[in-house]
Amino acid sequence: MPPSQSPARLDSAEERRTRILDAAEACFVRHGFHRATMHDVAAEAGMSPGNLYRYFRSKDAIVAGLAERDRAAVAEDFSGIEAAPDLMQAFTGLARRHLAEAPAEKAVLCLEMWAEATRNPAMAAICRDFEREIAGRLTSLYRLAQDRADPPKAGADPEALARLAMVMADGIMVRRALSPDFATGPVIDAMLTLVGAALDGRFDPTTTPESDR
């Protein structure tokens, strides 16, 4: 007589949710949130349409669940960054992993989520929280890197620099989504060079531009 509920059951229910989310991701990348049908998702997940509703209340819930999952995965990857031995190397790895090595489908999904966020408050909240978390992590990473330098350098403002890096990252996402063969390497390198130089004061992008003087 097994005293606990079958863990296999619970496991498989959770597995089924992720299977549905995986299927939804594929469909949403192919057709977008609004043109992908529940039939498409069901077929991709290898089950009937009705059965989807045993695991998600609605189509919107699937969309939100998917966004939440991806957001959490990326945030997780950023989470321990302040503990890295070489901060800038860790940052470089993070940038390459998410902006170059990640499948281009992620960029498409990202665009889709952004577009949805402009009019769906739930999605807007997810995007906002995500952006805040990453901004916070990058800011403290940069601040830490400045403090740890041999003679502590006071270059550009870490917060402004984090905003700048994120804007560049967003731009890279757009380009990847639009032309899958876009060479992200040079642009990522430019971002890394810029951040590195700005952090230790060799070049400050937060001054007023020449053409205004």
Applying CB under 8 A, the residues found at the interface with a second copy are 30-32, 34-35, 86, 88-89, 91-92, 108, 111-112, 114-119, 124, 127-128, 131, 160, 163-164, 166-175, 177-179, 186-187, 189-190, 192-194, 196-197, 202-212
HEC string of 96-154 equals HHHHHHCCHHHHHHHHHHHHHHCCCHHHHHHHHHHHHHHHHHHHHHHHHHHHHCCCCCC
Cβ distance to DNA smaller for residue 32 or 93: 32
Nearer to a second copy, 47 or 174 (CB): 174
State the chain's maximal CA–CA distance in angstroms: 82
What is the binding site for DNA (CB under 7 A)? 2, 6, 9, 13, 16, 35-39, 42, 46-54, 58-60
Partner from DNA, a second copy, none binding residue 58, C-beta < 5-8 Å depending on class: DNA
Q: How far apart are CA 172 and CA 175, in angstroms?
A: 5
Q: Which does 73 bind (CB under 5 to 8 A by kind): DNA, a second copy, none?
A: none
Closest C-alpha among 168, 35, 27, 172 to residue 109: 27
Question: What's the closest the beta carbon of residue 174 comes to a second copy, in angstroms?
Answer: 4
Instruction: From the list DNA, a second copy, none, pick the one residue 36 interacts with, judged by a Cβ distance below 5 to 8 Å according to partner type.
Output: DNA
For residue 173, give the nearest of 116, 102, 124 by alpha carbon.
102
How many helices, marked H, and strands, marked E, lie in the chain? 9, 0
